Chain A
Amino acid sequence: MNSYGSRPAPTASTFELVAWLFMRLSGVLLLILALGHLVIMHLINDIGKINYEFVAGRWSGELGMLWRGYDWLMLILAMLHGVNGMRTILEDYLSPGRRRILVLTVLYVVSFAFLAAGSYVVFSFRRVM
């Protein structure tokens, strides 16, 4: 059955499958979350009312964890969705080699730093009066 000679037989890429599925699911979720965000921040509340007090109050009140979770989910999904999109484009348009590895490394390091900083802020935030 094996007719690949000395080459290894192909094995479907589970990573690419998961990445593909993630893009679809996170896309739909982000649409809902971001629309919700837009409605809350710009339609229900007046844009002039939104300041430190507003956000700090929301994050510290009774539903604090829920709002933090909402914002964190948006952060995670948007970052991973965006980074995977960038990875896709870079892998399409940069040929394999040192330059591609370098650019992808920069992308991963920077986005990890953003993710870590964002997550840290979301969960360690204490309101200062």
Chain B
Amino acid sequence: MKVELKIQRFDPVKDQEPHFETYAVDCEPTDRVLDALLQVKGLMDGTLTLRKSCAHGVCGSDGMRINGRNRLACKELIQSQEQPIVVEPMKGFKIVKDLVVDMEPFFEKFRAVKPYLINEDPPPAKERLQSEKQREKFEDATKCILCACCTTSCPTFWADSEFLGPAALVAAQRFIFDSRDQAKEERLDIVGEKEGAWKCRTIFNCTDACPRDIEVTKAIGEIKKEELFRKL
């Protein structure tokens, strides 16, 4: 089938402003948007710049705005998109080139919540045990692949780049509710700051955007509840 793509292009060397360019490619309806983009890059215009790696929705490198919604290009089927398929870089970050944005501020926020297990006890011989029930509390958040689809779909983040953002909050939830972790209080201090969980306005864009179907807003809500109950 013929597919029309409208891709936002920006070359920092030549362009003042991003602009759209249209391409027509031949695809199967069951191809993914990524296949179409790679066709453009491979056969029509080699300068088209995008990130991708696994092409199977695992690595989180090809998050972008597809027809106005943040999606992984490798997970979106051509047949489920209206034409022309409008492809833009994720909003809220500096564009490096075309569909590639500078993710450094995103990872900086991620690091700020200390996304690693903190446990001062000497490790036991085999493993730190945990019941299934204890695990369930943060199971959802472990699925995150750091694609930034959530954070860059969040209107609060667009307006205020200081906001920690949903992805970092999901990472915090993952450790705050982990029974093996000992830095719960410290983490709650970090995400309980003004630019942390309280900046979330429960708009639910993040939940809609997450390609891993993580209930992002719910995770943030759990953090807010935890902040509240530790003070009561």
Q: A1-B186, A14-B231 are in contact. Are A92 and B156 (CB under 8 A)?
A: yes
* A21–B186 CA distance with the chains assembled, in angstroms: 22
Q: List 29 A-B contacts (CB under 8 A).
A: A1-B183, A1-B186, A3-B114, A9-B189, A10-B189, A10-B190, A11-B189, A12-B189, A12-B193, A12-B196, A12-B227, A13-B193, A13-B198, A16-B193, A16-B194, A17-B198, A17-B227, A17-B228, A17-B231, A19-B198, A20-B224, A20-B228, A21-B228, A88-B201, A91-B160, A92-B159, A92-B199, A92-B201, A93-B159
Interface string of B64-103 (1 = CB under 8 A from A): 0000000000000000000000000000000000000000
B115 at the interface (CB under 8 A from A): no
Interface of chain A, main secondary structure: helix
> How many angstroms between the C-alpha atoms of A92 and B183 in the bound complex?
30
- B210 interfacial contact with A, CB 8 Å: no
Interface members, chain B 176-218 (any A CB < 8 Å) = 183, 186, 188-194, 196, 198-199, 201
Residues of A bordering B, CB below 8 Å: 1, 3, 9-14, 16-17, 19-21, 88, 91-93, 95
A88 and B114 alpha carbons, distance in the complex (Å): 27
Contacts of A11 in B (CB 8 A): 189, 193
Q: Provided the pairs A1-B186, A12-B227 are in contact, do residues A17 and B156 lie with their beta carbons within 8 angstroms?
A: no
In the bound complex, do residue A20 and residue B198 qualify as a contact, i.e. CB atoms below 8 Å apart?
Answer: yes
Q: Are A13 and B192 in contact (CB-based, < 8 A)?
A: yes
By the criterion CB–CB under 8 Å, are B159 and A13 in contact?
no
Closest CB-CB distance, B165 to chain A, in whole Å?
13
Encode B216-232 as 1/0 by CB contact (under 8 A) with A: 00000000100110010
Establish whether residues B159 and A12, one from each chain, have CB atoms under 8 Å apart when the complex forms.
no
Bound complex: CA A117 to CA B191 (Å): 39
Instruction: Mark interface residues in B135-165 (1 if CB within 8 Å of A CB, else 0).
Output: 0000000000000000000001001100000
Question: CA of A80 to CA of B224 in the docked complex: distance in angstroms?
Answer: 21
Chain B residues whose CB sits within 8 angstroms of the CB of A93 once the complex forms = 159-160
Min CB distance, B153 to chain A, in Å?
16
CB-defined contacts of B191 to chain A, threshold 8 Å: 12
CB distance from B228 to the nearest CB of A (A): 6
- Which residue on B lies nearest to A13, using beta carbons? B194
